[in-house]
Structure 1
Amino acid sequence: MMVPVRHIHRLILTVLLTLAVLSGCGPVEKQGGPHDGGIDRSYSQPPITLMLSTDKSEMATVEKLYFSLHVLYPEDYEIKMPTEEDELDKFRILSVRDFPQKLTGDQLLESRRDYVLEPFLAGEYLIPKIEVAYGKKSEQIKLAQVIASEPITIRVNSLFADDQELKLHDISGPLSLPHDLRGLTKRLLSVLLILLALVGLVLLIIKRRADKKAIPAVIPAHRQAFNELDKLWQENKTGKISVKEFYYKISMILRCYIENRFGLRAPEQTTEEFIAAIVWDTLLLTRQKEILKEYMKRCDMVKFAEVRPSHDDVLMAYETCRGFVVETMVNDSAKENAQDAV
């Protein structure tokens, strides 16, 4: 009888899986550390049982000691475990773990605490007696009784033999760098200095460009006046402003130009104060001062005395203001262009 190939494959797969499961099964290591040549002690004081265990009775200074404390007691009793600082004398406590209470097969409660300990030096270490207070929950005086263990001695051995003398050797002097490493260090320093110089140069260029952008371009006084006059004349031609507004704005344009060009605070002054100020000014010619006096008085007549100027008067006011700017501005080349525009 021939067995199908697929059945053989299934059989082989089943055997392999079974072997894998069996090989993965093994003894479960006791929690709390290895237990090889350790100490186990039990103390009974019915109905309380105290059990102590260590994973070793002798150890080296570089090893750790696993120490476990178990207490069995009835459910109508309560206990109090010892505090950590009272327990383990010279040992350094690396960790402490308290397990939840559990009920054993004998219907007793079990409380458990595990320690991981570490010695400092070689010698004999003593785990002092462990005292656990207990009592019935119904008693008025709680935890009136105590169960105690005997001290446990643990021998801690040094890694060195007893007759081996420890010697400290002199500190060796500093080692010089290999020749190849010296050359590499010099090259790295050179590259670093070049990079720092390039970074500094880039930052300097960026700063200068930022400074140039931060400084606004200064518009000359005459150029600003020409721009304002052109804008005002367009508004007048299209009828966007009244004649009174035209005279108010053109007188202010002239005052601002005089302030920017000659340093006189013309916009903040009344006409009388302005005329009195230009009398003592040494930058203006006498003829120019007379033109300003007459011009400001005519503007005030329109603004405050309700005088109605003709179209020719408006044009003359515009040309007089522009001509004064052309005559007194600083830039000669701009003066020629302005005269051509007039």
Structure 2
Amino acid sequence: MTANRRVHRAVSGVALLITVAACTRREQAPAPPTPRVAERSSGPVTARLIVDPPEVQLDRDTLLTIQVSAPSNFAVRLPAVEGRVEGLATAGLFDREPRREGSQRVYERCVRLTPHPAPRHRIAPMAIRWQDPASGEGERWFPTPPLVLAVRPLVSEKPRGVADIFGPVRVRPGVATLLTYTLVLLLLLAAACAPWLLGRRLQRYLKLRRLSPKERALWELEALLARDLPGKGRVKEFYFDLTMIVRRYIERAHGVRAPEQTTEEFLQAVSQDSRFAPQVVARLRDFLSAADLVKYAAVRPEPQAVTAAIATARHYIETDAVEQSRRQQEGHGAG
């Protein structure tokens, strides 16, 4: 008998704990929000707007119920919702069967509204039309009250006592992002260096324009020698540049368009020009003919031949400039 009582007491205690826990959970569960109700009357007719939930929630639809209560012998017309909502789209509607509540008849139109992000969510006034056949008067109407609905945020505030488990994590940029940053940086550097480079090129151009034909040709010759093309195995390129230095000098100093002529055309032109002595034409012929063998016949010159070609070009430029200066002085003296 004692054992049975102990078992009974234990079962009763467990049941009591379960009941208390259930009641505690039930008390902690939030109550559903009360629908928002707006009401307006005109004589014996009353219109109510019922909005459920009372706040706009972007992740769920809003149910709008238009409820009109009027005497049972009145004719009632429910309003259209199209064009009367802002920030909400009509997703469907239906009318319930009118029902009697004492001497009144209740009409209901249920409209499902889908919210979307907007500056505000509003239900504009709608016309409730009614008529009393017994009075003999025409149809009358009155507007429903306007409603501006608040928007409930999708994410509620963080509950108290809840903290982040991890701190902020640095996300490394991807390869495409790094390439984009590198390209932008290179473009910025190019834009910053472009004025400086253009300035240097312009300064160099103006400096060369102020040089005499002799000074410019000797400057070009020193720049060509500094490149050391023969030492790099680029002999053909070296001879092209060397002969062009001589041809450009002749064009600047004597007005003969030597760079645009073939060797034969050039030699024919200078042999008929009194400013070029026969021995000078002979040296130019030997110099250009030897260079053509390297440029066009793939002849590999010895280092001594390269040195001799450089000396020939330098000697011609210097002596021709001296001879030209002498002729100019004689011309001024004769004048």
Q: Please give the range of the TM-score, normalised by the shorter of the 2 chains.
A: 0.3 to 0.5
Given the two structures, how large is their TM-score scaled by the length of structure 1? 0.34
Given the two structures, how large is their TM-score scaled by the length of structure 2? 0.35
Higher helix share: 2
